[in-house]
Chain A
Amino acid sequence: MVLKTVIRRGEYYDSGRLMIVTRTISKLEGIIDAAVQMGTALNKEALKRTGLLDKDSEGASVDDLMISMKGTGEGVESALVQLDALLNQSSSGLQDSEYRPKTIDSALKAEPGLNFAIISVPGRFAKNEAMKALQKGMHVLLFSDNVSIEEEKELKTFAVSHGLLLMGPDCGTAIINNVPLGFANKVRQGNIGVVGAAGTGMQEVMTLIHKHGAGISQAIGTGGRDLSVTIGGAMMLQGLKALNSDKNTDIIVVISKPPAPEVSDKILQFIKDECRKTIVVNFVGGGRPESIEACGAISASTLEEAALRASELAGHANGAPRMAEEDLDRIARDEAKRLNAGQKYLRGLYSGGTLCYESMLIVRDFVGDVYSNTPLNKQMKLLDSAAPCKHTCLDLGDDEFTAGRAHPMLDTTLREQLFEHEASDPNVAVILLDIVIGYGSHSDPAGVFADLVRKHKENARREGRHLIVISSVCGTEEDPQNSLTQERKLQETGVIVMPSNAAAARLAGKIVSYANSEERRL
């Protein structure tokens, strides 16, 4: 048995590729466990947890590639030989024979008509690439995070003055001309435009609109910080202006976490003065509805409601089933009764940040503020994000969980580990799991979790517990994963599948509030 670490300095591979290589190497003969990752603190912790850390990997820097393998001597040597081929293998065989340009300039030489750039390089390099792309007249989807606010301002100032989109930083979702960009879903084309500072929030709204039978004209992401004071809503305004002038857009949905008040005022003022189209605004959990309505816009308090209002305006509101309150209550009571006395807590494990946020808002009405790594109430911040306590909702897409690794919507490993941990906790009553599908996401998240759910519900039953797992699938039947198939897989293992994130949170909230009140009765 041998543990071998190889450090390769200054080599760059994207996190998606490394994830695949790790998986492939781990399955090789003679290998017990392996990890091929960048030397970030987070990844080193993961190595420590799985017993793969040694002094070589400890000393690795953020720009180093750590190749860690545990196995037989032969297995390890053989794996190392195969490693290079795997790292450099082109993911789609076709591309292998094509020369890939190395700079934006040489790419433009090869294809002078390039009009759009998707940038997802590490944050410290992102601004230069984005600026180069903008200077060449390309619109940009800036997926990278860890871009400074000054850099963001510089980029957006340039973009606005040149009539270009700079969607980001930290923007994962956009749909332009019905083309899903980044983490996005295949949705019907229609007359509802979306502009949002919240990626999974946009995904939820768009997929629900699709379920209602309506469609999306354009979906413009602004990045999470756009509505801060420094940036002042620059891209939100740019997007609103564009959708306002777009002949194919009749209704506009605005989605964001509550903006800074002066920015919120600026946006609403613009809506009042300039917008000729009907606007639905969802400042998730914030924004005084009266001020929104005073500007002639419609205020929605949840993503689910925003989708419904927009779809109604578009003449479609039939698709997505809405559960009657009594039905929800009934299910909640039945489930709560089956819990044992010790099971009190709710644990949300979210891959979508906005979905986590919305859930915490909804659950607050039932059990008060919950703990989180991104809590609504600062005092509820977990000391150790990986150690949930009482009621907790975790946003696993937050920076601290994603440094140097692929997003949880794509890489389910961390969330799986946490699920196993929470599902084994005797004090846990309900686990909330969002399943976000579409392009960019894991090819079968429901399948991955269905297996775990089956295993853990069985374990729980044997130990005299009733483990409740509630999910909603954010996606459409046209996504590669097919939302209908995903829902079925979950239901088959006993997951309660709700039609929206808000509905899932409401059910979870009801269950734990019943559970805790019944306790008091005993």
Chain B
Amino acid sequence: MNTVNDIFGKQLKILNIGLEQFADDLTSQGIPCIQLDWRPPAQGDPEAADLLSLLLE
């Protein structure tokens, strides 16, 4: 079984989803980080987001 301890001591490879400053801070310290170009699903349109979840059922 995996445990949380598995990540201790390992190189963190980080994906940042949201506020860019978090990625910038990590990059400035030389920590590998990818910034996701995140958009709200369905361009933030709540109707389309609902459709999406219904489609994916």
Contact = CB atoms under 8 A, between A and B. Distances in A.
Per the CB under 8 Å rule, do A and B touch in the complex? yes
Interface of A: 10-12, 14-17, 63, 91-92, 94-95, 100-104, 107, 110-111, 113-122, 125, 128-129, 133, 137-139, 143-144, 162-165, 176-177, 179-182, 218, 238-239, 241-242, 245-246, 248, 410, 439-440, 480
Contacts of B3: 163, 241-242, 245
Given A16-B21, A120-B22, A125 B40 contact: yes
B54 interface: no
Contacts of B39: 12, 102
A143 B21 CA distance: 13
Nearest to B26: A179
Contact of A118 (B11, B14, B27): B14
B34 A121 contact: no
28 contacts: A12-B38, A12-B43, A12-B44, A14-B20, A15-B19, A16-B20, A63-B40, A94-B27, A95-B35, A100-B35, A101-B37, A102-B36, A103-B36, A110-B34, A115-B12, A115-B14, A116-B7, A118-B16, A133-B17, A143-B19, A165-B4, A176-B8, A177-B8, A181-B14, A181-B26, A245-B5, A248-B8, A248-B9
Contacts of B15: 104, 107, 111, 114, 116-118, 133, 138
Given A113-B13, A246-B8, A104 B20 contact: no
Interface of B: 1-29, 31-32, 34-41, 43-46
B45 A116 contact: no
Nearest to A160: B4
Contacts of A117: 14-17
A238 B16 CA distance: 23
A179 B7 CA distance: 12
A116 B8 CA distance: 12
B4 A120 contact: no
B21 A10 contact: no
Contacts of A144: 18
The residue among B1, B10, B21, B27 with the most chain A CB atoms within 10 A of its own CB is: B21
The residue among B9, B18, B29, B35 with the most chain A CB atoms within 10 A of its own CB is: B18
Given A120-B18, A163-B2, A179 B13 contact: no
The residue among A95, A118, A163 with the most chain B CB atoms within 10 A of its own CB is: A118
A440 to B, nearest CB: 6
Contacts of B1: 163
B34 A107 contact: yes
A383 B26 CA distance: 41
B49 to A, nearest CB: 8
The residue among B20, B31, B32 with the most chain A CB atoms within 10 A of its own CB is: B20
B24 A92 contact: yes
B17 to A, nearest CB: 5
Nearest to A235: B4
Q: Which are the 7 A-B pairs with shortest beta-carbon distances?
A: A120-B18, A163-B2, A100-B37, A242-B4, A439-B25, A163-B3, A120-B19
B12 A111 contact: no
A165 B39 CA distance: 25
A111 B26 CA distance: 16
Contact of B12 (A177, A239, A248): A177
A182 B7 contact: no
Contacts of A91: 20-21, 24
A11 B29 CA distance: 31
A104 B31 contact: no
Given A63-B40, A102-B37, A107-B34, 14 more contacts: A12-B39, A12-B43, A102-B38, A111-B15, A114-B34, A115-B10, A116-B13, A118-B15, A128-B41, A139-B7, A163-B4, A179-B26, A239-B4, A246-B8
Contacts of B21: 16, 91, 410, 440
Contacts of B9: 177, 248
B44 A116 contact: no
B11 to A, nearest CB: 8
Contacts of B19: 14-16, 120, 143
A248 B9 CA distance: 10
Contacts of A179: 12, 26, 29, 31
B24 to A, nearest CB: 6
